[in-house]
Amino acid sequence: MPTTFRVLVTRRPRYGCRACESTAVQAPAPARIVEGGIPTEALIAQVLVAKYADHLPLYRQAQIYARQDIKLDRSTLADWVGRAAWYLRPLRDRTLEELRRSERLFADETTAPVLDPGRGRTKTGQLWAYAHDDRSWGGNDPPIVAYVYAPDRKAERPGAHLGDFAGILQVDGYCGYTALAKRRQQVFLAFCWSHVRRKFYELADKSPVATEILRRIAMLYAIEDEVRGSPPEQRRAAREERSRVIVEDLKPYLEARLRQVSAKSKLAEAIRYPLGRWNGLTHFLDEGRIDLDTNTVERSIRPIALNRKNALFAGSDEGGVNWAVIATLIENCKLSGIKPHAWLTQTLVALVKGHPANRLADLMPWTAVPKKHRVRSTLGAVRSVAGIGPQLPRLGPAGAWVEHPGAAGIRRSLLTSMPPTARLHRQKRTSAVSRASCRSMAMVATLR
């Protein structure tokens, strides 16, 4: 069913006493991401999910809302995204801190086109992805991924992002990771056999040598399929028994073929790639926690590529930073199996209400996994959307809205969905003390 817009009416009567001279009192307005604006946190969460999970650029979202007679300019939506990213950035930074404490990480990077004002063109920024996933060897830690935007691809970027990380870093052949390992003796590189395979796959139609190398690499992957999910010691034992002989035979074969082909040929270039990284490619034989490739982090790059394809570019470097922040949290929701919209709504509400900075761990997707986020229920969705503040109404036994126990002095009501005739049925509340009231309108987007 299409998105349904609902309107929350907030009534804040002014109260005064005729028997005394004290001034009238009024409950403060609820805190919002956009102070004095129309969007609730649920609507902002919907915009974020549509842009970074469903890959709908803001101009397309504006067109979708316009078909429902909701006029929202693209610049307005961009402002909402920027405000939400400001609140969510500490959570992304906390995610990066969690990754730095890991003993094994995957790393990769991809381009992020960014507008370059004054030049009439875009420049090429970079989105770096760092991931942790122990499911391949039966680990208990949750899978985590974090994205970091940088305006360039300088070799010092990985070191700045990873801080004091010490352990195994599974990467492709980018020289920046090699420079990092040379500077820090506690970082050990494990290279990717998928990248090795890719170079020979491109030549397989024309080269029997490439076909033979692919056959041997396929034997390694067949063994990995059998031990995937097994404990590290079992994986290491199987590799020692079956994979080591394949790898040890492959190296002299590559060296012999390299002497027989032209040094400038593509086949020679493909052969030099694994030979120049042989130590890193063979680490998996001695450590059961190391995977054969970096496909874990490359899968996390795909949503970035889809968003880049549809949105074409980020508006600025700050837009690239916001992209990395929000994409990090949405991807972690997907990895943890929770609904991004429900989690973002609840998290934005908590942050705007002043959630303690020393308790950010309580908000992380892999720790905050309540059952209501996993249940596909319209009633559950409405409850999560309505939970925007401590004084909001709640659903009664018959589905009617009743006053929240903590709503002392504040009257709220939820309007029904807008039918095509745009009639709004409103539960009216009156005040015997004062007719003057301050009303604020807020739109809530819920998915049925």
> pLDDT averaged over consecutive 10-residue blocks of the chain (448 residues)?
79 86 83 89 95 95 91 94 96 96 95 87 94 93 95 93 94 92 91 95 93 96 95 96 96 95 94 95 95 95 93 90 96 95 95 92 81 37 33 35 35 30 33 34 35
Does residue 217 lie within any of the structural domains?
Answer: yes
Cα–Cα distance measured from residue 198 to residue 204, given in angstroms and rounded to the nearest whole number: 10
Does residue 332 lie within any of the structural domains?
Answer: no
What's the confidence (pLDDT) of residue 423? 30
Locate all alpha helices (DSSP H) within 53-189, ordered by sequence.
Answer: 58-66, 74-100, 157-162, 175-183
CA 179 to chain centre: 28
Closest CA to 316 of 146, 75, 32, 52: 75
Domain end (from 243, 258, 281)? 281
Closest CA to 212 of 250, 155, 174: 250
CA-to-CA dists, residue 20 to 16, 17, 70, 431, angstroms: 9, 6, 46, 19
Q: Is 272 in the same domain as 342?
A: no
Domain count, the chain: 2
What's the confidence (pLDDT) of residue 2? 67
Rounded to a whole number of angstroms, the distance between the first and last alpha carbons of the chain is 6
What's the confidence (pLDDT) of residue 184? 87
Closest CA to 296 of 137, 140, 90: 137
Does residue 173 lie within any of the structural domains?
Answer: no
Domain end (from 249, 266, 281)? 281
Does residue 92 lie within any of the structural domains?
Answer: no
Locate all alpha helices (DSSP H) within 282-431, ordered by sequence.
Answer: 295-311, 317-336, 340-352, 378-386
What's the confidence (pLDDT) of residue 177? 93
Closest CA to 110 of 95, 123, 124, 122: 124
Does residue 416 lie within any of the structural domains?
Answer: yes
What's the confidence (pLDDT) of residue 369? 53
Does residue 306 lie within any of the structural domains?
Answer: no
Q: Is 341 in the same domain as 275?
A: no
Does residue 412 lie within any of the structural domains?
Answer: yes
**Pair of tokens at residue 448:** 């049925």
Q: Which domain holds residue 275?
A: 197-281
Domain end (from 251, 281, 311)? 281
